[in-house]
Amino acid sequence: MVVKYGRTLLYLMEKRTGDSERAKDVVQDAFIIVLEKLRNEPLDDPTKLSAYLYNTAKNVYIGETRKEVRRETFFDTELLEMIASSNGEQYQTLVLERSRAAIDRLFDDLRNDRDRMILIHYYIDEIEKDIICENLGLSHRHFDRVISRARSRFRDIVQEQLDQIPLEVSA
């Protein structure tokens, strides 16, 4: 069987695969499968052995190609370079983003819009005291009193939130 059909099958698989070594592997696997199946159950029409061999080889090739596609790993080199060059900056960025989101939620709990605006401008946006005073029409002394009360209210909100967090006691 190998002598009669081997050369033709190898030629057809070389055309299909484009790689003679791979075609040899596919043909060998196809012959093994066909021989094992024929030992267990003969073909109904022995004249169709060549078609049976070809279809088996074709299915072996398709199966191997599918395996390769499933196992294939794609690399985004730009992404890998960005990750490698950042030296752990992503973690810091993530921590900052989450901290900012938590602080924003706390600011939303402030009832007084002026308190929220002064705290955000002064501590988050880092706008100078003189500019904030000028924009709000406050004297420096008045600003100090307002920001002191705003900090106190904000501190109370933070404390309320902390009091709601259950503490885990280790044994």
Structural tokens at position 53: 């061999």
Q: Are residues 14 and 62 in the same domain?
A: yes
Q: Are residues 65 and 7 in the same domain?
A: yes
User: Domain boundary at 41, 71, 101, which?
Assistant: 71
Over residues 110-165, the pLDDT tens digits come to 888 888 888 888 988 899 999 999 988 889 999 999 999 989 988 888 888 878 87
- 93 lies in some domain: no
Per-residue buried b or exposed e for 95-129, using 16+ beta carbons within 10 Å of the residue's own CB: eeeeeeeebeebbeebeeeebbbbbebbeeeeeee
- 46 lies in some domain: yes
- Residue 25 buriedness (CB in 10 A; 0-12 / 13-18 / 19+): middle
- 126 lies in some domain: yes
What is the span of the domain harbouring residue 142? Answer: 110-164
- 170 lies in some domain: no
- 34 lies in some domain: yes
Structural tokens at position 132: 């904030």
Give the pLDDT score at 168: 66
- 8 lies in some domain: yes
Would you say 26 and 17 are in contact if contact means Cβ atoms under 8 Å apart?
A: yes
Over residues 43-67, the pLDDT tens digits come to 888 888 889 999 999 999 999 888 8
Structural tokens at position 12: 């057809």
- 54 lies in some domain: yes
Over residues 62-91, the pLDDT tens digits come to 998 888 877 776 666 776 666 666 566 777
Q: Long-range contacts: 165-170, Cβ < 8 Å, 24+?
A: none
User: Domain boundary at 71, 93, 126, which?
Assistant: 71
Q: Are residues 67 and 14 in the same domain?
A: yes
Q: Are residues 9 and 66 in the same domain?
A: yes
Can you tell me the distance from the alpha carbon of 136 to that of 4, in angstroms, rounded to the nearest whole number?
97
pTM, two decimal places? 0.42
- 65 lies in some domain: yes
Number of domains the chain contains: 2
